[in-house]
Amino acid sequence: MLPVFCIIILAYLGLYLPGREFETITSIMTGTVLSVVFFHVDLSSRLNVGYTVALDYAFYAIYALLATELFISIIAWHKSTEEGNEKFISILFWTMRILYPIVLIGGSIAVIIFYDVKFTGL
């Protein structure tokens, strides 16, 4: 999952771009989603099971995060065409900058607790 983590960090850095840089944010998000999807398909094909496993749920959470980030950037791009919305856009991006790591860390902790993950010998 290390490559996915690095890709997610790249997507997170897209939140620090201004809302008017919609093309750049969209390019980053497109590359991120494609990379995560291909990685997910590759890992799922190696498991060769016919049901949903914990790994799938982790990827679903990542997809939700990426979709939310793309939705936020669309709102920011739409609002940036209007006057006086700079404060709203700033609050929107700061909220996502704070929630993004909370969701990632909280989800990781939830998976560790729920699936009783044990870290043995590295």
The pLDDT value recorded for residue 36 is 92
Q: Is the pLDDT of residue 122 over 80?
A: no
Please give the model's pTM, rounded to 2 decimal places. 0.81
- Which 8-state DSSP code applies to residue 83? T
The CATH label, of 3.10.20.30, 1.20.58.390, 1.10.1740.10, 2.40.50.140, for the domain at 2-114 is 1.20.58.390
What is the C-alpha to C-alpha distance for residues 15 and 19, in angstroms, rounded to an integer? 8
Q: What is the pLDDT of residues 68-119, one digit of tens each?
A: 988 988 888 888 777 778 888 888 889 989 999 998 888 888 878 887 777 6
Q: What is the pLDDT of residues 6-48, one digit of tens each?
A: 888 888 988 888 777 888 888 888 899 999 999 988 888 888 7
Report whether 28 contacts 70 (CB < 8 A): no
What is the C-alpha to C-alpha distance for residues 115 and 110, in angstroms, rounded to an integer? 8
Domain boundaries defined on the chain: 2-114
What is the C-alpha to C-alpha distance for residues 104 and 101, in angstroms, rounded to an integer? 5
